[in-house]
Amino acid sequence: MIFSKTMGVIKLDIKDRKILYQLDVDARQPVAQIAEKAGLSREVVNYRIKNMEKNGVIEGYYATIDVTKLGYFYCRIFMRCNAISQLQENEIVNYGLKYPTIGWVTAGHGKWNISFVAYVKSLAEFEKTYDDLRFNLGKYFQEHYVSMAFKIHHFRHNYLFGTDDNSQSVLGEPFPPQKVDEEDLRIIKQLAKDARTPVVKLAESAGLKPGAVAMRIKRLVKNRVIIGFRPKINIALLGYEHCKVFLMFKNITPLKRTEIVAYLRYHPNVIYITKAFGIADLEFEVIVKGKNELYEFMQKFLSHFSGFIADYESIFYYRELINYLPS
């Protein structure tokens, strides 16, 4: 058996967890390489990956792109939409998915129940995105705010694998902007949609030879344009919920902020830390088994940093649609 299902929750066994961990480290790894690292046969790994895809535990694969290396700003619009129906929510989400500069759409429960991430190259381009959202979806807005993210730290799903892997990928790390051509962009866009796309297929779409595509991917990774290849894990099927927390500081110092970031980084349930301009001084995303576990997490956190947290807000996401390089 690949996993057992009890009361609607899928429980992965140790073999599935080893495989999923390797995919989280590098989703473009060949099956043979995953098998060697997980201590399993190639046939077993291939069979289990296909079953996790079939049963929805793995919803797909995507390349994490540092859009700042391509000259884009990472802008967010958080919306509070009260008393909207599922049909109206779908209308809002679908509008965002079709909009050319928007690459990330979430829906959830909390003060900000809809959010968009726009990748833009100028304030004028963001102004147009912002105006179009307000003109077309403004009837659903009760409140909203705009924010720009400077740096986003990506971490492993250690809570799921029982691992202690504290490596990170950072969107927005100091690094010179990179020049990319049309062939690079075709490759990046396809990998953003499906990180496990074979080199041969990438070569066909880019009009290049497979060897040339492999070299381009290697260069894009080396230059930190592509900062990771990851699976999209349906954590809800595994009994977890995705929560975003906005922290507001008081009496903060650079040293204390560094301590807070380190505390969050080394917690196995934290998967993102975001430094941004907006109402929050720091944001992080944590995977928990419901509101009670979030409450316990925050009580320990607030106790540890007593006197430095003025307030916090939280959102539970139940829909998240990602494309690091939209059209």
Q: Each residue of 296-323: pLDDT tens digit?
A: 999 999 999 999 999 999 999 998 888 8
Would you say 67 and 119 are in contact if contact means Cβ atoms under 8 Å apart? yes
Q: What whole-number distance in Å separates Cα of residue 234 and Cα of residue 201?
A: 26
- pLDDT(151) > 90: yes
Mean pLDDT for the chain overall: 92
Which one is predicted more confidently, 7 or 189? Answer: 189
Query: Which of 264, 261, 309, 307 shows the shortest CA–CA distance to 286?
Result: 264
Kindly indicate the confidence band of residue 327, based on its pLDDT and cuts at 50, 70 and 90: low
Residue 1: is its pLDDT beyond 60? no
The sign one gets for the Cα dihedral 271, 276, 279, 281 is positive
Average pLDDT, integer, range 150-170: 95
Cα 120 to Cα 27, 130, 180, 201, 289, distances in angstroms: 27, 11, 16, 29, 35
Q: With contact defined as beta carbons under 8 Å apart, do 235 and 287 qualify?
A: yes
Q: Are strands 309-322 and 241-249 parallel, antiparallel or unpaired?
A: antiparallel
Residue-wise pLDDT for 83-116, tens only, equals 889 999 999 999 998 999 999 999 999 889 999 9
Whether the predicted pLDDT of 6 surpasses 70:
no
Per-residue confidence band for 278, with pLDDT thresholds at 50, 70 and 90: confident
d(CA 99, CA 103) in angstroms, rounded, equals: 8
User: What is residue 5's predicted lDDT score, i.e. its pLDDT?
Assistant: 40
Residues 97, 153, 167, CA angle at the centre, nearest 5°?
Answer: 125
Counting Cα atoms < 13 Å in the Cβ hemisphere of 59 gives: 11
- Cα torsion for 147, 148, 150, 154, to the nearest 10°? 70
Q: What is the mean pLDDT of residues 129-137?
A: 93
Tell me how far CA of residue 22 lies from CA of 37, 155, 183, 201, 263, in angstroms: 8, 14, 29, 23, 25
Structural domains of the chain ordered from first start: 1-55 (1.10.10.10), 68-156+234-322 (3.30.70.3460)
Biggest CA-to-CA distance, the chain: 59
pLDDT digits (tens, 9 = 90+) for 19-68: 999 999 999 999 999 999 999 999 999 999 999 999 999 999 999 999 99
